[in-house]
Amino acid sequence: MSYLLHIDSSSIGEGSVSRQVAQTFRDVWRGKVVHRDLAAVPVPHLSAAGITARVTDPAQRTAAQAEAAAVQDELITEFLGAVAYLFTVPMYNLTMPSVFKAWLDQILVEGRTFDLGGPSPAAGRPAVLISTRGGGYGPGTPKHGLDFVVPALEAVLGHEALLGLDVTTVTPELTMAPHIPVLAPLLPLHEASMTEAHQRVRGLATSIAAPPAA
């Protein structure tokens, strides 16, 4: 059965804004969901054994290579089995959480999830990327240009030479405004950003889940 693969990387648990927005998406989604919570159960970072296992005959692999290959096989099979994707990736220190980068490094295997000579097996499948951030990083803000999450992930997830997914990004901003006094004047902007984010993911869940026109 096809399913939505939800890859979660927020460390905060139920208090996570990115998880809350993702839950709104899932509340609307109609269908099976496979949820991998990388904060609760991290995947190992890519090791020498994992890299060399990719080019070593299975019969010749060491125990470490076989173990690393089994991890990659599980994650890749799970990735390729999905019909759509939901990625919950908050901004941590201007970039993505290390647990999400570890997951990417495990599944990005040439000849399996992407092909330098043609489209990837998952090319064109819909994906929603939810990336929350404590401040504002859009044009005209003091931190414009310091977002190293969304550009990198849109390239890796969406570029035709890599995973080739059809990525839509939702960026709830100013999530620290309710907690840091100096940001209190920005509360209305934060609230507007949250309202827009929840509305957008509801619409995306509906449109992605809708069957194609006959």
DSSP letter string over 115-174? BTTB--TTTT-EEEEE---SS--STTSTTTT---SHHHHHHHHH-TTTT--EEEEE----
CATH superfamily, domain at 3-209: Flavodoxin domain (3.40.50.360)
Kindly state the percentage of the chain with pLDDT values over 70: 97
Q: What is the pLDDT of residue 18?
A: 93
Q: What is the pLDDT of residue 69?
A: 97
The predicted-structure confidence for 139-169, as pLDDT tens digits, reads as follows 888 888 899 999 999 999 999 889 999 999 9
Q: What is the pLDDT of residue 211?
A: 53
Q: What is the pLDDT of residue 137?
A: 86
Q: For the chain, which ranges sit under pLDDT 70? A: 1, 210-214
The predicted-structure confidence for 99-109, as pLDDT tens digits, reads as follows 999 999 999 99
Q: What is the pLDDT of residue 213?
A: 45
Q: What is the pLDDT of residue 1?
A: 54
Question: Which distant-in-sequence residues (6+ apart) come within 8 Å of 170 by Cβ?
Answer: 21, 128, 129, 130, 131, 197, 200, 201, 204
Kindly report the average pLDDT of the chain as a whole number.
92
